Amino acid sequence: MTTFSLFDKSSKIDGIYAFFIVNRFQMLYLFFLMPTYLLHPFMIWGIVAMAIFSQLNIWLLCKWLESNYAKKGYQGFVELFGVRMVRLLTFIGLILILIKITVITLGYIGIIHDFIFPSMNSNWIIFFILLTSSYVASLGMKNTIRFVVIVFLCVFWMIFLYYPYFIPPIAALHDLYPLIPTNWTTDSWKGLLLIWASYSGPEYLICFIPWIKPQQNMRKYLTYANALSTSEYLLLFIASLFFFGSNYLSKTKYPIIHMLRYLQSPMFERLDIILISLHMFLLVFAISIFLLCIYGATRIILKKTSTQPSRMGFAVTCIMLFFCFVIVNNWVWSIETEQNILLNIQIWLSGITYLIVPTFLLLLTKLKGRVKA
């Protein structure tokens, strides 16, 4: 029987993969909700402002990734925090990842159910997607990270399909007014929070850095990823304003997807179904890589890092994650008020972790360096 090497680090991958990972993480489920939350044209400046803050956060993260602690992976965290604190922080991280992947998965499942399989039991959709993700994850962390290239090529080009909405008569400049806010409300603050939460994702690179070659210019790759995500946010939001207008954006939950239904093709009748199906590559990638993080975190908590990963342990993790999705889907996500609460929790947690993690790690590393000196 061959060795089950999920976390093999014998060979490294290029830093360009960090660009693909961060960009696709920033284009997960929350960006579908962005136009509904932002509503007003002046929130274009909100996207720009959050992009600048995100870039500052990326700079802090890259400073830490260049440290010796980051290059050592798990052992570096042990040196930085100690074994007990690492286990405690890993447990907290495990809860955060579970909430994130649950909300993202069930959000995508809802889209698939509403637009493609309205009569199908959503639990079966969860089963088939998690089965596919489990197979991808079973190939190991290195191969799962490489899968992001396929994901990027499958979905990135979709942004160009929205070009008809930038052409008159659909596009009208008066739909972009006012660009200066005349009435700032609580909903505007919620919109800024959603934008910031959407930019989260780079902080998860701390889990993958052992598989990336050292001496890579991470700042360059992450800056490009952040800039590309900003361009996509702006294009999709402006296209939504042109098509729906700010007064009607709040009337639909997924304006970005509904816009696809109006695209006409001489070859395909329902282009939106094809594009949603291709977007499932991103969901499979996200579940796969977070599944490996969950299994790895469980091994750290249970003090199993010195032993080889087992097929049984990985299978139990997959099964437990499936039951977690099904339970939340049937008893929480199916109720609109409970769904909104869970979604808001995820938005807040994503924003908080993205704000705190890079700063906390860099400050602690600097303090540790001074103590040693």
Tell me the two tokens of residue 93: 């991280």
- Structure tokens belonging to residue 331: 């008893």
The answer to whether residue 370 scores a pLDDT higher than 60 is no
Question: CB neighbours (10 Å) of residue 177?
Answer: 13
Q: What is the pLDDT of residues 178-223, one digit of tens each?
A: 878 878 888 889 999 999 999 999 999 988 888 887 767 888 999 9
Coil, helix or strand at residue 216: coil
CA-CA distance, 263 to 362, in Å (whole number)? 47
| List of residues 6+ apart from 217 with CB closer than 8 A | 15
Residue 76 pLDDT level (bands cut at 50, 70, 90): confident
- Arithmetic mean of pLDDT, 152-165: 88
Helices then strands (H, E): number in the chain? 15, 0
If you average pLDDT over residues 220-247, what whole number do you get? 92
- Considering the domain delimited by 16-372, tell me its CATH architecture: Up-down Bundle (1.20)
CA 333 to chain centre: 19
Q: What is the largest CA-CA distance in the chain?
A: 69
What's residue 71's pLDDT? 79
* Integer Rg of the chain from CA: 21
Residue 312: exposure state from Cβ atoms within 10 A (0-12, 13-18, ≥19): exposed
Q: Is the Cβ–Cβ distance between 342 and 103 less than 8 Å?
A: yes
Is the distance from CB of 279 to CB of 27 less than 8 angstroms? no
- Beta-carbon contacts of 334 under 8 Å, excluding residues fewer than 6 positions away, are none
In this structure, of 1-15, 99-113, 193-207, 277-291, the range with the lowest mean pLDDT score is 1-15
Mean pLDDT calculated for residue range 247-256: 85
Q: For residues 349 and 96, is the Cβ–Cβ distance under 8 A? A: yes
Question: 217-254 as b/e, with b when 16 or more CB fall inside 10 Å?
Answer: ebbebbbebbebbbebbebbbbbbbbbbebeebeeeeb
Residue 36 has pLDDT above 60, yes or no: yes
Distance CA 312, CA 315 (A): 5
pLDDT over threshold 60, residue 372: no
Q: Which of 327, 325, 319, 328 is nearest to 134 (CA)?
A: 319
Mean pLDDT score, 239-252: 85
pLDDT value, residue 177:
81
Could you give the residue ranges of the DSSP H alpha helices within 213-310?
218-244, 255-260, 271-301
Calculate what percentage of the chain has a pLDDT beyond 70: 96
Let me know if 185 is exposed, middle or buried by CB neighbors in 10 A (0-12, 13-18, 19+): exposed
Please, are residues 321 and 130 in contact by the beta-carbon 8 Å criterion?
yes
Calculate the average pLDDT of the chain: 88
Structural domain boundaries in the chain: 16-372
Provide the pLDDT confidence category of residue 260 given band limits of 50, 70 and 90: confident
For residue 13, the SS3 value is: strand
pLDDT, average across residues 273-290: 92
Cα–Cα distance between 132 and 284 in angstroms, integer?
7
Whether the ω angle into residue 178 lies within 30 degrees of 0, i.e. cis, is yes
Residue 73 CB partners (closer than 8 Å, separation 6+): 9, 209, 210
Q: Residue 304 has what pLDDT?
A: 86
User: Is 0.85 topped by the overall pTM?
Assistant: yes
Express each pLDDT in 80-90 by its tens digit: 888 899 999 99
